[in-house]
Amino acid sequence: MSIAQDGGLSEVLGEILERYPVEDIGEGISDPDVRQLLTDELPAQINAGIEATSFEVHGSAGQGRWTAIPWVAVRDPRESASINEGVYVVYLFEPQEQRVHLTLNQGVKRLKEE
């Protein structure tokens, strides 16, 4: 059984906002369950709702430290090889404000380098 008790997408989104360790932003990741919500549970919920199997879903709570804006991106690898390029949709979390936004983003890292 999943951490969010299989309650669906809105349940997982709410649980991430509720449990995200705002007081630990910038500190080492200490709660593997919350990280799992972002990297496994929410992507699984999104994948369950997508009929096309060509999309890739990936989430992050930070690279070794809790980030202030955790995210989960949904991208088509035919459009972009990574979130550093191309166009994709992403859930951006503002746990300090108890908000989550679904946005259309464009990776610009390669453009900046050129």
The whole-model pTM stands at 0.86
Can you tell me the mean pLDDT for 86-114? 89
State the distance between the two ends of the chain, measured CA to CA, in whole angstroms: 46
Closest CA to 63 of 39, 45, 33, 85: 39
The per-residue pLDDT for 2 is: 43
Can you tell me the mean pLDDT for 21-45? 94
pLDDT in tens, 60-85: 999 999 999 999 999 998 888 888 88
C-alpha span between 82 and 84 (Å, rounded):
5
Which residues are 108's β-sheet partners? Answer: 85
Conformation bin of residue 17: beta by default, left when phi > 0, alpha when psi is -120 to 50: alpha
Can you tell me the mean pLDDT for 43-54? 85
At residue 104, does pLDDT exceed 60?
Answer: yes
3-state secondary structure (DSSP) of residue 86: strand
